[in-house]
Structure 1
Amino acid sequence: MSESQDIEVTPSRQELLDTLFKIYGKQPNEENFKIYSEDAVFEDPFGQARGIDAIKSQFIGLDKLFSSSVTKDYKVLASEPEFMRLVLHQIYTIPVIQYDLPVESIVNLYLTPEGRIKRHEDLLFRLNLKYRSDGIVGYAWEFGTSKYVRISMLSSLLQAVVICTLEAIVYNLHLKQLAAYSKVSKVPPLKDKALSIYYILFIIAQIFQLILCLDATYNKNTIQVIALAIFNFLAMGYAILQHIQAKNIIVSENIADIYPGYNASRNLEYAIIILMLIFSLSFAYEAYQLYQEYGWNIYKKIGADLRMRSIYKVYQILLMLLKFDIFFLLGFSVQYLALVIDTSQSPGNDELIIHVTVSLCGTISMMILSFWALRAENRFGIIVFMLACFTTLGYLIYKLVIMYTPDGSLSYSCRINGESFSRKCDRFEGSRYFLTFFVIVCFLLGLATVAFTFKALRNFGQGLKQHINHTAVNWNGSLNLDSPEAQKRWSID
């Protein structure tokens, strides 16, 4: 083995390199792997190994692939207290044909203060490691190398496809049940609109969780992964409410006696609940594994400053809360507008339409304002948003009281499919459970949003905006042989 060094290394560093070359060679022994820390990570463009046992398997496996592995020469490019970089020329002999395959690699070694390797990057053929900042190609690369990214994404996709398909079938059966009822009674049930809206909303929720999963794994956002696991359990609760509400409507209107397909839809609703439980538990486990893999990786790109990381963490949590606020607040406003207005022809109905429409537009406006003000660190905008949040919390309490107050929920003139009926009806019948569910979730999200918005406001002007817009941390592992510090900054713990 020839040695070409522009940079001198200490005897201890030379001993580490000599041991490393033994590991690259045929049949390394147990003692050799003591140069790695217990939680060390090895990564090349084709995969990743975490922990000493996994790293052992990675290198011992070379014995089965090649007849021999010899380090021809190397050149040290950088040697710093906790970082080394070298060019390594290795010769691998392919068995049977006995062909010598020359491989040139850039090797980056990140070291503990004690001098053991905590991260080992081998850029075979000078290929870069791939990360999310490489765009779709980088994400696709990691999708192929990260086990739990693959599992979580495929699980989320499978959940969306299976649940949406079953929900669409149940929705179709529901429409047939209502059509059969209308032929007999000549008047559709007052509550038919409710279930139609909720089937559609549940399908949208499944698409929403798929988008969130893609976003969370793409950005290695541990907080959002955990929140998505909670969202799945909420969706399961929603499925249970959907079954209860459907059963109440079918039984109260005696639809089961008119249309025999009720048993089929009921069984599918049971299947949806059970599948949602399975998917929720499965993703909870996957979220834990992704947490083990990601840690708090998303916050590391902000640098080594612990105070700045804490500020950035508040920023990320608030962004995550705002994403869920959009879904639940818009979901509540849309269903309230569609359900209550369609079945009510009371004298104050015009005012109700205006009121709900304004609240819907207000929700969209306040969400746009929040994202802009948070990103721009605009104090006035964020204060206006907080006032809007308090107004929204009061509005939700008001709607909850209306739903459970007889004078507020009763209407003396109802409209079904454009036809008016002069009879006393409960305009929240068939939708009260769902609206209550959304009000409670929106209220809790609103409280959390206000709390973290206040924290974010206090952090304005402390440098986060500049870090987000101008951070120079190298996330894509691209090589800059003249600047080893760029690689070193990437690995800050």
Structure 2
Amino acid sequence: MAVEPLLATRAQRAFILTITLQAIIVLTMVEVKVPFTEDYKTLPCYLALFALAEIFELLMAFDALRLRNVIQLLGILLFHMALIVMAAVQIHQTETALLNGKVDCTTTINLINCDGPGSLWRAVKPFLIVVPCVIAAAWFVMMFWIKELYSEFGWAIFHVVGANPKMKRMYQWYQIMLCLLKFDFFFFVGVTMQLLIIVLARSTAEFGVTVAAIPVVLVLLALCGTAVQREIKWLMTISLVMMLAASSYLYKLVRIYEPQTRDLYATTRVSLTIFTIVAFILLFGTFAVGLRCFSDFDRGLQASKVNGQSYTPVVTKLELFGGNMSQQQGSYNGGGALAPRISIE
């Protein structure tokens, strides 16, 4: 039985094609040409978030197929559900941003901040409604192909860690950790983008602190990924401690709802709340899984972590009745013959 190369099967090609077509349709729908001003910059932020989300999802899909990572595929399904929720929430937020009551629509003709024929709200509303419908339809198609990929990728995991259930379980926790780190990146950037575009004034100290936090968090995520893969204990310890410190970012929720600052977040309160809570849950989950992965250090999994990140076609021959198992060719042993046993790398 062979482990197929990237995009060599119908299920892999169909999965990528589904995400690509959905991304093209969604980005075409949400691209609205409006001035970037204080009153209605929710729309440019909405476009920026969806552009980031669609590109991120497509890259995650290619990465999951490259790594034969079923857990990451399931994470993409959950992420896609979050996109549906975000698209639905943006309908109300966009209406709040445009029809904000700052203009007396009974005496003034204003096609930007008033409802009515020819208004901006009437123009963008159909597109805002279609977007979650398209994303939801793509989600059902993705579910079908992920089911096919689940069966296809089961053999690939065997080639990384062998048949030992304990090793397989440890490798799955490692895959979960890497997947969480990738989603941590997106939701942190999503929260930061909304704060910088919509809420924070450039002259404030909070704006500077938020900008400065971007490289710090990105470096943290990269170092944590390296530490868990290479099993570097001191670096993993620093990463876990910094995760606990970063969880203090939850204080943003207080800023969103306290009376002194709640008006600043009026047009993005719902989405920013969702992003902040999800980011905190993911960060806390990453910390917990990181502890679990830390406990698996020095237990014989490091070689599989380092060498199992890419796959080439592997041909195996099982002689069940003869009691022998040999590999004719393998990407992890340089093509040399193995002893008649299942090895755990």
Letter in 1 for 2:238: V
Counterpart residue number, 2:134: 275
Query: Which residue, out of 164, 168, 172, partners 1:305?
Result: 164
Summarize the Cα distance change of 1:278–1:212 in structure 2 as closer, same or farther, 3 Å threshold.
same
Contact kept? 1:474, 1:487, Cα under 8 Å: no
Match of 1:376 among 227, 230, 233: 230
Deviation at 1:276, TM superposition (A): 1.1
CA contact (8 A) 1:334 1:360 kept: no
| Contact kept in structure 2, 1:157 and 1:210, CA below 8 Å | yes
Residue in structure 1 matching 2:4, options 131, 135, 142: 131
User: Partner residue of 2:24?
Assistant: 161
* Mapped partners of 1:488, 1:210: distance in 2: 39
Taking a change above 3 Å as real, the CA distance of residues 331 and 474 of structure 1, as seen in their structure-2 partners, is: closer
Relative to 1, partners in 2 of residues 1:211 and 1:480: Cα closer, same or farther, differing over 3 Å?
closer
Per-residue CA deviations over 1:43-73 (Å, capped at 9, x if unaligned) read xxxxxxxxxxxxxxxxxxxxxxxxxxxxxxx
Matches of 1:487 and 1:212, distance apart in 2: 37
Partner residue of 2:215? Answer: 361
User: Can you list the C-alpha shifts for 1:244-291, whole angstroms capped at 9, x where unaligned?
Assistant: 101122222433348534323101111111111111122123222322
| Runs of 5+ unmatched residues, structure 1 | 1-118, 120-128, 133-138, 180-187, 411-425
Kindly tell me: are residues 361 and 457 of structure 1, through their superposed partners in 2, closer, same or farther at Cα, counting changes over 3 Å? Answer: same
| 1:327 aligned to which of 170, 186, 200 | 186
Q: How does 1:29-428 map to 2 (within 5 A)?
A: 131-132=4-5, 139-140=6-7, 142=8, 146-168=9-31, 171-172=32-33, 175=34, 188=37, 190-253=38-101, 254-257=113-116, 259-295=118-154, 297-298=156-157, 300-342=159-201, 349=204, 351-396=205-250, 398-407=251-260, 409=261, 426-428=263-265
Of structures 1 and 2, the one scoring higher in RCO (CA 8 A, sep 6+) is 2
- Which SS does the other structure have where 2:99 is aligned? helix
TM-score, with structure 1 as normaliser:
0.59
SS in 1 for 2:274: helix
Q: Are residues 484 and 193 of structure 1, via their aligned partners in 2, closer, same or farther at CA, if it must alter by over 3 Å?
A: same
Distance in 2 between residues matched to 1:162 and 1:487, nearest whole Å:
53
Q: CA deviation at 1:242?
A: 1.0
Distance 1:279 1:486 in 2: 46
Letter in 2 for 1:251: L
- Tell me the CA shift for residue 323 of structure 1: 0.7
Range with bigger deviation, 441-450 or 190-199: 190-199
Q: Which amino acid aligns with 1:255?
A: C
Number of aligned pairs? 316
Q: 2:329 touches 2:337 (CA, 8 Å); kept in 1? A: yes
State the Cα distance separating 1:318 from its structure 2 match.
Answer: 0.3
User: Structure 2: which 5+ residue stretches go unaligned?
Assistant: 102-112, 316-327
- Alignment-derived partner of residue 450 in structure 1: 287
Aligned-partner Cα distance in 2 for 1:450–1:308: 21
Matched AA of 1:167:
V
Contact 1:300–1:309 (CA under 8 A) maintained in structure 2 = no
Q: Output the amino acid matched with 1:242.
A: Q
Distance 1:330 1:474 in 2: 30
Question: Residues of 2 paired with 1:391 and 1:474: CA distance?
Answer: 37
TM-score by length of 2: 0.82
Aligned Cα root-mean-square deviation (Å): 2.8
Residue 460 of structure 1: aligned partner = 297
Higher strand proportion (structure 1 or 2): 1
Instruction: Specify the code of the residue in structure 1 equivalent to 2:12.
Output: V
Q: Distance in 2 between matches of 1:487 and 1:162?
A: 53
Distance 2:340 2:121 in 1: 63
Q: In structure 2, how many angstroms separate the alpha carbons of the residues matched to 1:201 and 1:297?
A: 34
Q: Name the CA distance, whole Å, in 2 between partners of 1:210 and 1:192.
A: 29
* One-letter amino acid of the structure 1 residue matched with residue 93 of structure 2: Q
CA distance in 2, matches of 1:231, 1:486: 43
Aligned letter for 2:43?
L
- Alpha carbons of 1:210 and 1:273: their partners in 2 closer, same or farther (altered >3 Å)? same
- 1:310 & 1:383 partners in 2: Cα distance? 22
CA distance in 2, matches of 1:158, 1:255: 34
Q: Contact 2:11/2:145 (CA < 8 Å) preserved in 1?
A: yes
Q: Of the two, which has the highest radius of gyration?
A: 1
Change (3 A) 1:299 1:192: farther
Distance 1:203 1:483, change over 3 A: closer
Could you tell me the percent identity over the aligned residues? 25
Q: In the aligned structure 2, how far is the partner of 1:220 from the partner of 1:236?
A: 25
Which residue of 245, 254, 274 corresponds with 1:437? Answer: 274
Q: Please tell me the residue identity of whatever aligns with 1:220.
A: R
The letter of the residue matching 2:237 is I
Q: Deviations over 1:310-368 (max 9, x none)?
A: 211111110011111111112212321232223x76xxx2x212321232232112112
CA apart distance, 1:439: 0.5
